[in-house]
């Protein structure tokens, strides 16, 4: 398994190179910010025209994580869909694909700011999930301990063998972990920005996604 293990409030978690989080003791796979249907929303609003393949790419990667780990529970931490109309515009084959991925396991959809209203039947829809020593929600709340969240799409830079690379990343410290966006067309927010610097402890780490999960001190200004 390509990933980095760390502890949060006694829970041993693995930040995977794919951008998913694995809680082995609970057989729980957590992903955040898939933003399915983003290309459709941009086209609908007259924005940049992007190849409409992000849904297939995102779900192909999610299916691979599920096949590799066989989770008993999958939790999507909100903004699974880019908006309600994007969710409604998903073709039947995508809905069938999501139904197939849910088979044989529990599935929880956490509400996000892009998709606060449940968009699909199947699975359980919650504003947040309390699971043992941790709470899973879409947006981090200051002062919380044992929190797993998404929303901010963190990314960081790394110098590797003389090359400067940037990748989506996990951020974690003793209080929380913030997941990278799992979706293909999601973009990101630099970890040294004020929003993320204000949430994370000074000793926070960043785990860059990719073929190898690189762990570095969280970049700050």
Confidence class of residue 28 from pLDDT cuts 50, 70 and 90?
Answer: very high
In order, the DSSP letters of 34-97 are --BTHHHHHHHTT-----TTHHHHHHHHHHHHHHHH--SEEEE-S--BSSHHHHHTS-HHHHHH
Pairing of strands 73-76, 11-16: unpaired
In order, the DSSP letters of 95-146 are HHHHHHHHTTSEEEEEP-SS--S--SSSSEEES-EEETTEEE-SS--TT-SS
Overall pTM surpassing 0.85 (yes/no): yes
60-98 per-position pLDDT tens digit: 999 999 999 999 999 999 888 865 666 666 778 888 899
What residues contact residue 124 under an 8 Å CB cut-off, 6+ apart? Answer: 106, 107, 108, 109
CA dist 163 and 19 (Å) reads 22
Domains of the chain by range and CATH?
Answer: 3-217 (3.60.21)
């Amino acid at each position: 398994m390509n990933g980095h293990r760390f502890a949060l409030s006694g829970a041993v978690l693995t930040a995977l190179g794919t951008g998913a989080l694995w809680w082995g003791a609970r057989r729980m796979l957590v992903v955040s910010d898939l933003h399915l249907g983003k290309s459709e929303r941009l086209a609908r609003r007259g924005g940049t025209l992007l190849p409409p393949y992000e849904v297939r790419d995102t779900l192909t990667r999610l299916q691979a994580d599920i096949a590799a780990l066989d989770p008993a529970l999958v939790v999507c931490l909100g903004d699974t869909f880019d908006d309600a109309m994007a969710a409604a515009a998903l073709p039947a084959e995508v809905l069938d694909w999501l139904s197939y991925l849910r088979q044989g396991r529990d599935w929880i959809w956490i509400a996000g700011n892009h998709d606060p209203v449940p968009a699909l039947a199947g699975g359980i829809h919650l504003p947040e999930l309390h699971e043992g020593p941790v709470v899973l929600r879409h947006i981090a709340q200051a002062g919380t301990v044992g929190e797993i969240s998404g929303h901010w799409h963190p990314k960081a830079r790394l110098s590797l063998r003389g090359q400067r690379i940037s990748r989506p990343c996990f951020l974690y410290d003793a209080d929380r972990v913030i997941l990278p966006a799992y979706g293909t067309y999601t973009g990101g927010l630099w970890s040294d920005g004020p929003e993320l610097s204000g949430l994370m402890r000074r000793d926070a780490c960043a785990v860059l996604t990719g073929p190898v999960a690189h762990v570095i001190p969280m970049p700050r200004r």
